[in-house]
Structure 1
């Protein structure tokens, strides 16, 4: 039972830090009144915060019709149809049924949902927002008749009743309550980050049952960074080197709206977060999220002294690249975008000097993005002109390890070297099925 519960809890780890976009072509019944339209519109905005379309819309599929495969340690599951179709979707759900599924992970027929659905975060969503979301999914989304697909998980691990015990152990019921002594903006930011935004699903490390180690700022591990599906979700606390300690409020707001600033650029799953969610947030909510995140005390980090830029030693290496295998690779493949000085051409091309992702102890994100590149940031409909290409077919494991070790040591970054075995492991896991 212990191993089974652990495996089922591990399904939490498949919930990526993608946020949702209101679907194009959403249908609204002509009979809906003006007041209902306002509620539906509000629900559409909230759905962007809640990771709904990103998980419930398959590539080239119809909005919210499900079918997206998600890998778990037990096998593959397929997300469900949440359109208002009465036969295959949630058209038969009452608002109470909808609220229970959203906050407690229990479907209308009583079966437990896999916690790839981040209901431990959605438990904090208030009644008014649940009502608006329900109105949107019932009246703002086109019904699609598409049967749900059974998971590939084999018996007995496909039994869902053990999830009741996982919920008893790890699900904290109760809506978000404003913290005394904090202003309106801080509390709004906390509500968004902890609730519909469910940032902790990716950015908070996991406990022994694969539950989030903390669900709010009262836990020291909250948003301190975590490994997830081949990426290391960044530290979002005030830590100076690997977190947001050197970011101003304007830096953070710029990143949320555009995916890039003078410190870093979005890649991996965070690209979808920017594209499908945060760029669409209104200015008040962006400011609230930034205020809350900037209030978090520093946690974690790489144990190094506070970062200060120093290009001299790295410049010498690049002047004579024959003496350093990593410098040779950097000169041939990286320098034209990221520069001799490591500062790139921000925000168009990411800096490497002092970049929190470069300084992190875990190099998984650097290895992954070097192997596989990243998708385009698309801001206001315009794709970024210089997305990071993948080098899996160009560079071998040792070359990637060499260049990343060079980058992590360069410009006074002072981060640990990368081993070829680490690259080989991620190459195998991320290239499977490509």
Structure 2
């Protein structure tokens, strides 16, 4: 046989294997079930609504001031923007024609009804840990209690050939775990519940875990010290949720974590950036038992002393004398001190301290620059908007002024995050849209 014939034969075989692999439909636990044909009980629908809060579906699938779950929210990636899809039960543009098995395949396997692979911005590697009962309840909620909205899905901005989705089949095999969450026998019920919520529907790692070369989360559970160890995503630095003293929760108690998730604030911090949406639409609706379970689990995750170095120590300083002569000091006193205090200690728990704030201690200045430029959306607790909102300074301050005031804050009161460059501010100004700070709220019915 000629060498060229052998090569062609090998190519044909490999192509056939690849074609089978990328086009095969993942198996669903609901393949033969008739659950979708049965009327959903009020109890199941209510349970599904709670699961939707746990999974924070609305935050990604809703554009500010538009109907909930109708999609269209842009998400930045290194190769172009993608847009969330319409997941209302509209039969033409949404998921109205999805069976329970179709719904399950999209949610836990990242494959749409038409066979297209979903980008991992959809956190199916986390949702894969959800049990059948939660999937069935979530399906009942979306099909029976969510208003259908006719809104076509928007194509991505990713250019060809990078927008081809078939390689995502290989991505899924390489970077996802298989199966639902399995409780750890050596841990108690509260720890296991918290681990499930963080790793599964809460998909905390989607923002807080660093990503690898293929945009995969470097870890999906506590077996790796990379899990929820802090990451930069879409213009924000999501801090470590481990017990790192400077970059994480080392100085927080379990009660502090609970208060932050329940009320959007505690003595250390107030929600801002992407966490505002998570609080407004997800964590505040969780039961106290679930919130304490999350707090218990997170406080069990050890920090990394080598990463953080010496724990932050407060250095009491008022902006006066020689300190007041430093670049950025005057801007701080005229623009920031009325809320955050001349000593940087804020007015806890309503206005957070800047002394010891994670965003002022880590080398990544994304969050500090972003929130100063664009402000933060209002935290809406129990239907009442927060009266103390970080305003945007995009129009009031130049790139140089913002760089100087942030450099001042990040090197004062014991803060050691380091200086901010004018180029960092300029790049963030160009890459962000002030509209991104709008509040998204799921209207409860």
* More displaced stretch, 164-173 vs 60-69: 60-69
TM-score (structure 1 length as normaliser):
0.87
Q: Which runs of 5+ in 1 are unaligned?
A: 1-30
Q: What SS does the corresponding residue of 1:169 show, helix, strand or coil? A: helix
Bigger mean CA deviation after superposition, 251-260 or 48-57: 48-57
Kindly provide the CA deviation profile for residues 113-141 of structure 1, in whole angstroms up to 9, marking residues without a partner as x: 12111101111111111111111111222
Aligned equivalents of 1:191, 1:123: Cα separation in 2: 11
Greater gyration radius: 2
For residues 173-222 of structure 1, what are the alpha-carbon distances to aligned partners after superposition, in whole Å with 9 as ceiling and x for unaligned? 21100011111111011001001100000000011211001000001111
**Count of aligned positions:** 399
1:64 is matched with: 69
**Which deviates more from structure 2 when the two are superposed, residues 317-326 or residues 291-300?**
317-326
Structure 1 residue 66, shift from structure 2 partner? 2.2
In the alignment, is residue 416 of structure 1 matched against residue 421 of structure 2? no
Stretch moving more, 299-308 or 168-177: 299-308
Corresponding residue number in structure 2 for 1:6:
none
Residue 221 (structure 2) pairs with residue 219 (structure 1): no
Structure 1 residue corresponding to 2:181, chosen from 168, 172, 176? 176
Q: Which residue of 2 aligns with 1:339?
A: 341
2:57 is the counterpart of 1:55:
no
State whether structure 2 residue 191 is matched by structure 1 residue 189.
no
Q: What is the match of residue 237 of structure 2?
A: 232
Q: Is 2:281 the counterpart of 1:279?
A: no
| SS of aligned partner of 1:365 | helix
Contact 2:359 2:417 (C-alpha < 8 Å) held by counterparts: no
Q: How many angstroms apart in 2 are the aligned matches of 1:415 and 1:150?
A: 39
Equivalent in the alignment of 2:88: 83
Structure 2: unaligned runs, 5 residues or longer: 1-37, 437-445
Q: In 2, distance between residues paired with 1:412 and 1:74?
A: 38
Is the Cα–Cα contact under 8 Å of residues 302 and 360 in structure 1 kept in the other structure?
Answer: no
Deviations 1:225-258 (A, max 9, x none): 0011111001110011221111111111110011
Cα distance in 2 for partners of 1:395, 1:190 equals 43
Q: 1:287 to 1:86 in 2, by over 3 A?
A: same
1:94, CA displacement in angstroms? 1.8
| Partner SS for 1:409 | coil
Please state how far the C-alpha of 1:279 moved relative to its aligned partner.
0.9
Query: 2: CA distance between counterparts of 1:322 and 1:243?
Result: 30
> Which stretch shows the higher mean deviation, 345-354 or 409-418?
409-418
**CA apart distance, 1:427:** 1.7
User: What CA distance in whole angstroms lies between the structure 2 residues aligned with 1:233 and 1:70?
Assistant: 16
- What does residue 105 of structure 2 align with? 100
Distance 2:325 2:188 in 1: 56
CA gap 1:150/1:307 in 2 versus in 1, 3 angstroms:
closer
* Secondary structure of residue in 1 paired with 2:117: coil
